Structure 1
Amino acid sequence: MPWSFGNYPSSMKNLPPAVREKAIEIANALLDEGYADGMAIRIAIAQAHRWAARHADELAPQERGRALP
């Protein structure tokens, strides 16, 4: 089931909005590629954190979230 900013997995609820939006985008792409929901969610959250770390200068401080190396 595709997710949206108004309907997303509970594991994404504590992500900053910009990071959550990117995680939703990534998760939906992974679902389209045939990944199972749980795997798509885990990968998407990790990748969204990495994305936020690379784009930290473009994001407001409250949207940066926890950056992964």
Structure 2
Amino acid sequence: MPWTMQRYPVSMRHLPEFTRLKAIEIANALLGEGMEEGRAIRIAIAKAKEWARRHPDPLAGAD
């Protein structure tokens, strides 16, 4: 069962929502390719953080 914003690994809890969404997307893709769950989570978090540095959250500061 793929992860969602309502159901995701505990280790993604600390990520900002924008970054967490990308991490979930990456982790689901890695799992779909047959990668082991723990490794997929670690890689997804690292890659999502890299991605977030290059793509600022469009909703940040929008009040």
TM-score using structure 2 length: 0.88
Higher helix share: 1
1:16-40 CA distance string (max 9 Å, x none): 0000000000000000001000000
CA contact (8 A) 2:27 2:44 kept: yes
Instruction: Note the C-alpha offset of 1:56.
Output: 2.2
| Unmatched segments (≥5 aa) in structure 1 | 62-69
* Distance in 2 between residues matched to 1:23 and 1:54, nearest whole Å: 14
Structure 1 ranges of 4+ moved more than 6 A: none
In the other structure, the counterpart of 2:16 is: 16
Give the alignment's TM-score, normalised by structure 1.
0.81
Looking at structure 1, the residues matched to 57 and 3 of structure 2 have their Cα atoms a distance apart, in angstroms, of 27
Task: Count the aligned residue pairs.
Answer: 61
Give the Å deviation of 1:2. 1.4
Residue of structure 2 equivalent to 1:46: 46
* Aligned residues: CA RMSD: 1.5
- Structure 2, unaligned stretches of length 5 or more? none
